[in-house]
Amino acid sequence: MKNIINEFLNLVKERNGDEPEFLQAVEEVAETVLPYIVKHEIYYGKNILLRMVEPERAITFRVCWVDDSGVIQVNRGYRIQMNSAIGPYKGGLRFHPTVNMSILKFLAFEQVFKNSLTTLPMGGGKGGSDFDPKGKSDGEIMRFCHSFMSELFRHIGPNTDIPAGDIGVGAREVGFLFGMYKKLKNEFTGVLTGKGLSWGGSLIRPEATGYGTVYFAQKMLETKGEGFNGKQVVVSGSGNVAQYAVEKSIQLGANVLTMSDSSGYIYDSEGINTEKLAHIMQIKNVKRGRISDYLETYKNAIFVKGKTPWEVKCDIALPCATQNELTEIDAEILLKNGCICVSEGANMPSTIQAVHVFQKARILYAPGKASNAGGVATSGLEMTQNSLRFNWTREEVDLKLKEIMSNIHDSCIKYGKDEDGYVDYVRGANIAGFVKVADAMLAQGIV
């Protein structure tokens, strides 16, 4: 089996050698899906995984805009349309200086499996730009978004490709993007998700990724007769996903000790409660400041510069910032400190070596494509509401989100349970996600 996996990975490497994050995401899937393909005649010998690692379409384009001092700036825009076997392309846009083909192809590839797991009819895509929103005025953000959409609009549509937010793209950016799309197409359609409530957005979409990550962790903990109440929780990030993962953890009675950003983490030994979280939301979403600003108000806390929070003793770890933020050494420290559950809010936050440490220790570990699927699932619910020209209540959407997370958990158990009862959520998520897409690809022929 090792030979088959290595042969496949070498082939992918030949074509994509300069894309480390993409190769990492493919390796993690190949390790579990190729052994399944070999054992199932309907998939064997049809190069299905090889077809799935090749984007159906990858678009790059120039984005020119004028900054506040009148200087013309040039950025690069992307949209990777990875797989449309089970529905229109769906996935977020990331605005961050590190954005490149490798990052977006890894995200688009993961999105295919994740969207399949939600049980909703959505293919996978991802896009973005190397534009850095940090320190930009609202006017600069608007001019950039308008310019970005002045090209992207011809490649997307409510039945073709429906982008949304990701790192650096929140409600403000989605608004500017939607405004330009509507103007250029002269139509009001659900072409983006994460929209504002008064213009087609869904209740709970802002909360959905963070809440879903905690709902998934809850399902995992239940299998051991455990829950969030009274547990010590360590969270990384302080953006959209982290904020609502913290909110739900607090609601369930946990004690949240940390949050972070790219400059370091804050540790509040007394716990981040609802009031403190509201203050963090103000710092991050309104003032667009740094997480260290927390110490100006809460003087008991400490700020650890340039480090991730995995050295803090905890029961549950929720990585909610970015890819590869949790290394093999971090995983070992978490285990040594007694951590029993890791539920990923971010996409691919753990390195492959860290994942292997968790699997070897047989702790509860959920890969992002399962545990953070609540965001895109609720985007799917936003699309449904847009099509119905109807809005569901907060309770209705939250209930559907819970059901979807529970179904994803069941799918992981179906395909990931070992004979001794241990659930390998990586294998479960990869195979469950693969089967639905592969069946659709087989039915549709070689296209």
Ligand X SMILES: NC(=O)C1=CN([C@@H]2O[C@H](COP(=O)(O)OP(=O)(O)OC[C@H]3O[C@@H](n4cnc5c(N)ncnc54)[C@H](OP(=O)(O)O)[C@@H]3O)[C@@H](O)[C@H]2O)C=CC1
Ligand Y SMILES: O=C(O)CCC(=O)C(=O)O
Output 87 or 374, the one with its CB closest to ligand X: 374
| Strand-strand pairing, 302-305 and 264-267 | antiparallel
Q: Is 126 a catalytic residue?
A: yes
Q: 């690809």: which residue's tokens?
A: 441
Say which of 126, 219, 248, 276 is annotated catalytic. 126
What is the amino acid identity at position 21? Answer: E
Among 163, 190, 237, 367, binds ligand X (CB under 6 A): 237
Among 147, 347, 385, 411, binds ligand X (CB under 6 A): 347
Output 337 or 384, the one with its CB closest to ligand Y: 384
Q: Does 90 bind ligand Y (CB under 6 A)?
A: yes
What is the amino acid identity at position 12? Answer: V
CB 210 within 8 A of CB 241: yes
CB 93 within 8 A of CB 125: no
Dihedral sign, Cα of residue 282, residue 283, residue 289, residue 291: negative
Among 166, 173, 207, 315, binds ligand Y (CB under 6 A): 166
Among 77, 124, 163, 239, binds ligand X (CB under 6 A): 239
Q: 């770890």: which residue's tokens?
A: 317
Query: Rounded to whole angstroms, how far apart are CA atoms 351 and 362?
Result: 17
Q: Does 201 bind ligand X (CB under 6 A)?
A: no
Indicate the SS3 state at residue 39.
Answer: helix
In the beta sheet, which residues pair with residue 62? 76
Q: Which residue is nearest to ligand Y (CB)?
A: 92
Give the CA distances from residue 56 to residues 51, 89, 97, 105, 312, in Å, rounded to whole numbers and listed in that order.
9, 10, 25, 11, 43
Q: Does 168 bind ligand X (CB under 6 A)?
A: yes
Query: Rounded to whole angstroms, how far apart are CA atoms 66 and 87?
Result: 37
**Smallest separation, CB 41 to ligand Y (Å):** 32
**Smallest separation, CB 193 to ligand Y (Å):** 5
Give the CA distances from residue 46 to residues 32, 41, 51, 86, 330, in Å, rounded to whole numbers and listed in that order.
17, 10, 9, 18, 39
133 binds, among ligand X, ligand Y, none (CB under 5 to 8 A by kind): none
Chain-centroid distance of CA 201 in Å reads: 19
**Smallest separation, CB 375 to ligand Y (Å):** 5
Q: 């592969």: which residue's tokens?
A: 438
Among 193, 258, 322, 371, binds ligand Y (CB under 6 A): 193
193 binds, among ligand X, ligand Y, none (CB under 5 to 8 A by kind): ligand Y
Q: Supply φ then ψ for residue 378, to 5 degrees.
A: -75, -25
Output 193 or 260, the one with its CB closest to ligand Y: 193
**Smallest separation, CB 51 to ligand Y (Å):** 22
Q: Does 264 bind ligand Y (CB under 6 A)?
A: no
* Binding positions for ligand Y, 316-375, rule CB under 6 A: 347, 375
Query: Rounded to whole angstroms, how far apart are CA atoms 387 and 381?
Result: 10
Q: Does 128 bind ligand X (CB under 6 A)?
A: no
Among 25, 63, 103, 167, binds ligand X (CB under 6 A): 167
Query: Rounded to whole angstroms, how far apart are CA atoms 397 and 381?
Result: 8
**Smallest separation, CB 70 to ligand X (Å):** 27
* Binding positions for ligand Y, 110-129, rule CB under 6 A: 111, 114
Give the CA distances from residue 322 to residues 261, 347, 372, in Å, rounded to whole numbers and listed in that order.
10, 7, 12
Query: Rounded to whole angstroms, how far apart are CA atoms 18 and 20?
Result: 6
**Smallest separation, CB 104 to ligand Y (Å):** 11
240 is in an annotated binding site: yes
Binding residues for NAD(+): 209, 240
Binding residues for substrate: 90, 111, 114, 165, 379
What residue ranges bind ligand Y (CB under 6 A)? 90-92, 111, 114, 164, 166, 193, 347, 375-376, 379
What residue ranges bind ligand X (CB under 6 A)? 165-168, 170, 209, 237-242, 261-263, 320-322, 325, 345-347, 372, 375
Task: Enumerate the active-site residues.
Answer: 126
